[in-house]
Structure 1
Amino acid sequence: MSLRRWGAVLAGAALVAGIAVTPALAADPFTPKVTVTPSTGLDPAGTKIVVKGTGFDPAANDAKGFGLRVGPAKADVRDRTGKDFQVSRLIKKGAVGSQIPLDDGGNWEYTVTIKAEYVASGTTYSAKTQPFSLFVFGWDTPVLTWDSKTPLKFTGIGDPDPGPGDAGAGLGWGVRQSWRSYITRGGGTVTPSNGAVLDPSAPNVEPFPYKWKYGSSTWDSGKGVVSYTGEVAYTFEAHTIWDFTLADPRITFAGDGTGKLTAKVGYSFYGTKAAPTKVRAPSDVVFADLKLKAPSQAGDNVVVDIESAKLTKEGADAFAGFYQPGEDVDAGRIAFPGKVGSPPTTTTPTSPPTTTSGPAPTTTTSSSACVFTPGSVAQGNLLWGFKQSFRRYVGIGTGTSITAADGVEITDIDKIAGTGPPSGAYRWGFESAQYKSATEFTTQFRGKVTFGYPSHSFELSIGRPKVVVAQGKGTLYADVELKTTGGAPSPPVDRPGVALASLDLSAAKTTEGAGVVSVAGVKVILGNADAFAKFYKVGEVLDDATVTLGAACANLPGGAGAGPGPGAGSGSGSDDLVPDVKYRPDSALASTGVDGGVWLLWGLLLVGGGLALVTMVARRKRA
């Protein structure tokens, strides 16, 4: 046999056996690299930086692209639903809108002005308290191949003080998480100052609590008083909260594992900003009763963790009745100079506090008689907005409507600016519940929300959501009805009790207290596309949901204007890096008979990983 034939035989045998002999692989031409010019010596008032990337394979990451964000190292910096960054952009081939173009060779460039301080969702983020960086990462993937972090250094701003996640002296305490959520998600403002800073290192994050500056302390083997300085001011003008300020918290240790938290509280509510009808001058309040863990020594500091904190009657009154005595406020960490077993000592900071302490706290009792048990469920609600982008799509249209009936309320939570119809998330009324635990329950809610878009030939209703959860996962059922008029590309749909979405509680936060249990941050993923005439694909992320249940004696959050409540829900509003774009499908659609050659928007479609409005042609019928 000839040498050539032998070679062919051997090659065939190798293929049959699954063996391939290949030459040495060429070096991968795509090695991601990011440069930022300049990245140091930045003017806090604003500096233009140039960001360049090389070696980003346009086909990598399933061609979804790469994310770029600027801001503090928040836990959601890589998340699709990450929010409140100074800059959020998508880098990809075929970029549209504000996306950053990526060429075939893997190169991209972006110029932007960066400042040392910015406001997002009502919260002030400052490089003085949280270091800023420029982050690049694979978009919507857990793969870290393309990740980079470039610190941004501003002139005159060093690294911030450590937070209470370490043993540094200071008080790590956030007042109450649902209060912070209520203010920030509703579009209010939060301004820490005079020694109080945002603290992303604390356990209770998003929106971040605060670290308060150490002031002075007297400590005697478990007894004493520790004072801190700083203030946090809240405003929410849409709900006539013109000002609520809490300042200079002070901890009194009783020596038996309990304590009191006192703070100066002042506010102006209701009426008008110029003439509020409810006003309190800043003055001391015994705000919370504390249950404390055993003190521990950390270097030169005593560290005491707050196991639980209950609102006193005086503290509830200082919240203008938004909360009831005995309700939980935030726990936290107390750290101050001293020794766990030392004799009485008094210490002061190197710089005295700017404010003075008020009178000694008085004894106040609190009540927490209302207790939630699996058999005591008598009320509740579901806070769920379906999908923010759909609310926006309908809300900004002409002649559209969004209406609620049969026990559901349209709130101002996650409200979208610039819409005609009300566009906030929905609080669905309670009908029944069977509850075993926060990871195993069944709840039926009532109400119906209807989206009307006459010029786009449809009316869509969602009603009576039902949540069934077991072992931390579950299903959301609902009645879905789609009514269409002539020329619509879909027939009507009527699906009562359809299994609409899957639920994931793995990242949900459960809070309990004062007869209430709230499960917030439930992930909702579409599981049935047919129910929406395939407007969305299965797997589409819908808004997060919050389920709140209570005993008959509990006070649940009421209407959007009734003040905050436990477990304020979160919509899916975010700095999503994929903007809405118009997409024109195949024009071979049936003529709608609409005069004037009008473009009709219809449906929603995921384009390049982001939500896109679907535009279709409506041709005038020819006579």
Structure 2
Amino acid sequence: MPVRRRRSTALAAAVATAAALGATVLVTAGATTATAAEVPLKDYELTWGIKQTYRNYVGMFGTFTTSGGATQAAGNGAFTFVDGTGAYDTTGHTVDLAFKGGLVSKSTAHGFEITLTDVRFDSKAGEITADIKKVDTSAGAPETTEGDDVPLATVAVTREMKDMATTLTAEAGEYLGSASYAGAAGDPLTVVQKTSPSTPPASPSSSPSQTQTQEPSPSASQTAPTEQPETESPAPTPTKTTEASPSASATKGEVADGTLGWGVKQSFRAYVVGPIAKGRVTVSGGATQAAGNGAFTFKDATGTYDTDADKLTAAFQGAVNFKGHESGGTYGLDLTLSNLKATLDGGSGKLSADVNSLGTLTQGVVLADLKARSADLTAEKDVITADDVAATLTAAGAKAFGDFYPAGTALDTVDLSVALSSDAQLPDGGSSGTTGGTGGTGGSAGGSTGGTGGTASTIGGTGTTTGGSTGGGSLATTGSDIPGPALAGAAGVAVAIGAGAVYATRRRRTQQ
């Protein structure tokens, strides 16, 4: 395919400035000197998930790997690229930023490896671009396609540059493996400065009469400078606050409240609502699930703590049910986890739950071994927080999942927050999820309570939609968004069908 050649940040900014000012001078290919209308930018971050259904697809049988400072949010979340540098055009109120970090999407089973680097955001053009290398081995011999500054999505630019709507391009569909992506809604895009300066940056010295500008603010409508507010600021510098010292409350006692965030395992969630299980995920009893078949939040914690001994025991309300493989009203998969309980002692601990599998209840099953990033349990403003706690499947947990995953498998990480007093403010936990009411339309599976108390909420099945965007089930269940090279091969289909058959068989053996 045609290759778009990379242009330097300085040259792009110079061309944009010359056009905005109506300059008569010729901008040459070697131009590197910024004009008076440009302000240099640095320390920006770009967060974009590409498309949630694409992440679900890759996560089912493949992996995402970040490098060069790029990261991925827990639960197969969005990607963040760092160290963004570039220029702000104070005349046109536009920014052009280039970011560091790489991303590799790979599935050996389906024969593809896609590498993204040099991610860029140009607010004037309203687009995201990247250098892409795609290696396709689905047909046998490797076939490599490369492109520089490939346009991945158009962006509806806003002044704040947060949660901007994106639309995937035809090039994105070609490189990601699905023509149906062209024109489809992508994940929202956010571009922010990581560290705000302690003092407002001065205006360029070459233009002393210019009104001082604190932070760049691209105008979605490209309004003339005279119509802009006197100070542009997409990310106002926050008032500096002194970090709270450790709580002076009692060092041991009873937990007043708390939340536990856990996705179980992202690939399992995608499998349940995918084309093999054709099922649904249901939360109840006060539990919530993040949009797009995301992670779960369990609430209303009770338990005890001892910050001197670095010990915590907390039990949480709510349940989650996984149901699929329906045949004649009978389900090969019907698994409910409820009454979750987490313990930590010096940074290590256990995660247990009551497990109801195909109608058989087993209480207090230790599902995972936990390992916190720090052994210390320190209260800040009467709240103990332990995020990104590693969870590893136990032998008992493997049995609970019908030996679908072997013991030792890494599960989704766990986020714990417990309040030590009734007036302590817990971090936001799962407010974007759903609880109660009616969730997305399921597949052939009927409604499920999935636990005790409350009205169930479901995600998955055919054509699920959450919050106005396609949910986690759509790619897997409709098939229309599945990348062509991936499931087109007979080997890939065999792997998927085999996984479903093995799971259903193991569940029945466990029940027997």
TM category (shorter chain) comes to: 0.3 to 0.5
**RCO higher in structure (CA 8 A, sep ≥6):** 2
- Normalized against structure 1, the TM-score is what? 0.38
More helix by share: 2
Find the structure with the greater CA-based Rg.
Answer: 1
More strand by share: 1
- Normalized against structure 2, the TM-score is what? 0.45
